[in-house]
Amino acid sequence: MIQWIIILLVIGLLILAALFGGSALVPDVQTAVFFVFLATAASTLASIAGLGGGLVIIPILIFLGLSPPVAAFGSLAATMSNATASSLIYGRQRRIEYKEALKLGMIAIPGSILGAILSKDAEVGSYSILLATILISAGVYVYIRPRLRSRPHPGTPIFLTLSAGTSFLAGLVSSYFGIGGGVVFVPLLVMLYGMSVMRAAPTSIMALLLTSIAGITTHGVLGNTDAILALLLSAGGLLGGMTGAKLSLEVGEKYARVLVMATMTVTAIMMIWNSAAPDTA
């Protein structure tokens, strides 16, 4: 039943995009199909890892020449759709820690609003390098986390400080880079809360729903929008979120960690490569 609802939503978004007609960013049908395919593939991978499809979408949109704020808006549209579809499927699988997801998501909302505002003046080179550094560090830590035994005890001041501060950072990263914040939420849930990746990923996806809504709303108020691009990426995000959540049951804990690290590392390399592109032009 849920799958059919998601499919009907996808059809509705595509019809709505067709009614809008073309735009400077989506001049023809071939480009439209490309964006839907991009969001579907990226969101499938992201849903399994709990990271948000923006990790793959953002580097490609920036490479295609979109400004950081507009690229972030489109990417967050895909992330929101991805999180919606994935959360519905993960909820049925009983793999979401709702209390933690809502708590982290609510704390992250102010950071998400601030990130959208700051992105207005973002430069491609500087934020690409910064994001790449965060990605590599977080990916490596998630992979080696099982070998580490110590972490702050829940309820202690250091635990609460790290949890709140990192959640705010996740919101900031979410809207500034347009990646949803899963790159921070997943390591936080694994490292600080001691969750397995198989539970951290669905919980992160649920939290991403809150941060992406806040980010999209703020970007929209600021005028960082392209309606047709957002609709196409949203359609792909729904398809990818549904597909990734169902496929995640076939992926074991060990391979989920490898997937998280590999996704973050490859994306970091793409961001560094892209940041150097203006200098070589």
Query: CA nearest 179: which of 271, 87, 89?
Result: 271
Contact of 68 with 167, CB cutoff 8 Å: no
List the domain range (segments joined by +) for residue 204. Answer: 2-280
Contact of 263 with 139, CB cutoff 8 Å: yes
pLDDT tens figures, 101-112: 999 999 999 999
Q: Is the pLDDT of residue 142 over 80?
A: no
The dihedral sign for the CA sequence 164, 107, 206, 175: negative
pLDDT tens figures, 213-248: 999 999 989 888 888 999 999 999 999 989 888 887
- What pLDDT shows up at residue 232? 94
- What pLDDT shows up at residue 281? 39
Residues in Cβ contact with 275 at an 8 Å cutoff, skipping those fewer than 6 apart: 124, 125, 126, 128, 129, 132
CA 43 remoteness from chain centre: 8
In this prediction, residues 158-165 reach a mean pLDDT of 85
For residue 256, give both structure tokens.
């989920």
pLDDT tens figures, 24-38: 788 888 999 999 999
The residue whose two tokens read 């809008």 is 20
Instruction: Tell me the range of 10-14, 138-142, 152-156, 196-200 where mean pLDDT is highest.
Output: 10-14
For residue 189, give both structure tokens.
């849930």
Instruction: Count the neighbouring beta carbons within 10 Å of the beta carbon of residue 157.
Output: 8
More confident residue, 64 or 183: 64
- What pLDDT shows up at residue 239? 93
- What pLDDT shows up at residue 248? 77
Band of the pLDDT at 159, cuts 50, 70, 90? confident
Structural domains counted in the chain? 1
| CA dist 95 → 49, 83, 242 (Å) | 13, 14, 15
| CA dist 233 → 82, 114, 143, 216 (Å) | 10, 23, 30, 13
Q: Is the pLDDT of residue 280 over 60?
A: no
Q: What is the pTM of this model?
A: 0.80
More confident residue, 84 or 63: 84
Instruction: Tell me the range of 27-36, 44-53, 61-70 where mean pLDDT is highest.
Output: 27-36
pLDDT tens figures, 179-224: 777 778 887 888 788 888 788 888 988 998 899 999 999 998 988 8
Determine which of 1-5, 48-52, 98-102, 236-240 has the lowest per-residue pLDDT on average.
Answer: 48-52
Q: What value does the mean pLDDT of the chain take?
A: 82
Q: Is the pLDDT of residue 279 over 90?
A: no
